[in-house]
Amino acid sequence: MNHPIDMPLGTKDRLIEAAGEVFAEKGFRDAKVRDICARAGANLASVNYHFRDKESLYAAVFEHARRYEQEHYPLESFGTHGAPRDLLAAFIRRFCLRLFDAGRPNWHVKLMSREMLEPTGELDTTVERDIRPTFERLCVIVSGMTGLPPDHDVTRMCSASVIGQCLHYHHCGEVSRRLCREWQEADSFIGDVARHVTWFSTRALEGVRSDVEAGRLPASGEGEARP
């Protein structure tokens, strides 16, 4: 039976929450059903009762995470009015919040990182339902700054540069924690990252725009990559 709203969470939901944490921490294989059940305060058999097996639980966790993200951080539904650089700043700030806001279930992004390293079917679903619309939205914003169409290769790679900078602090968090301990520990961490990425990217895109207007597009595909 479905659980009533505003109740201390039924077993099924507690399992999803606990599973999310454990899957994010340990990965699918290393996550032990016994551990999940213990954290959820549920019996060992409950996973196989409420979900069919461990794998279906994994899928349920992803479904849950996707719904949560879209409800709380709807990145694709940005207003389209305003100066491109303001839109960019707002986008980056929202994106960083989504990445680092520890307010609520903070394991969503880590789960995604794992999927990227070793994709299962869940990645495809998430890309189409979540990532692609977000990325397209960013491309439109960046397009407004470069003066090139949203589907132009340069626009898309510039958008990837923006995303990449933000994600870096997440993916390589363990490394940068070791390189510059102070950063991550600062209360203003999220704001600092967002502000820096905005600054760096804005200046970059201004430079790109003037290059574009001067007709200085880089010739791509030339074989001069190797030293």
Partner DNA sequence: GTGCGTATGAAACATGTGTTTGATACTCGA
Partner DNA sequence: TCGAGTATCAAACACATGTTTCATACGCAC
Task: Determine which residue in the list 32, 67, 132, 203 makes contact with DNA, applying CB under 7 A.
Answer: 32
Q: Which residues contact 183 (CB under 8 A, 6 or more apart)?
A: 176, 177, 189, 192
- Residue 108: name its binding partner from a second copy, DNA, none (Cβ under 5 to 8 Å by kind): none
Q: Which stretch binds DNA (CB under 7 A): 31-39, 69-77, 170-178, 197-205?
A: 31-39
Q: How far is CA 171 from the centre of its chain?
A: 10
Told to check if 44 binds DNA by CB under 7 A, we report yes
Told to check if 9 binds DNA by CB under 7 A, we report no
Least gap, CB of 92 to a second copy (angstroms): 11
DSSP line for 15-70: HHHHHHHHHHHHHHHH--HHHHHHHHT--TTHHHHHSSSHHHHHHHHHHHHHHHHH
Least gap, CB of 150 to a second copy (angstroms): 12
User: Nearest to residue 22, comparing CAs of 14, 13, 31?
Assistant: 31
Told to check if 47 binds DNA by CB under 7 A, we report yes
DSSP state of 217: P
Which residue lies nearer to a second copy by CB, 45 or 180? 180
* Contact set with DNA (CB under 7 A): 1, 10-12, 31-34, 42-50, 52-55
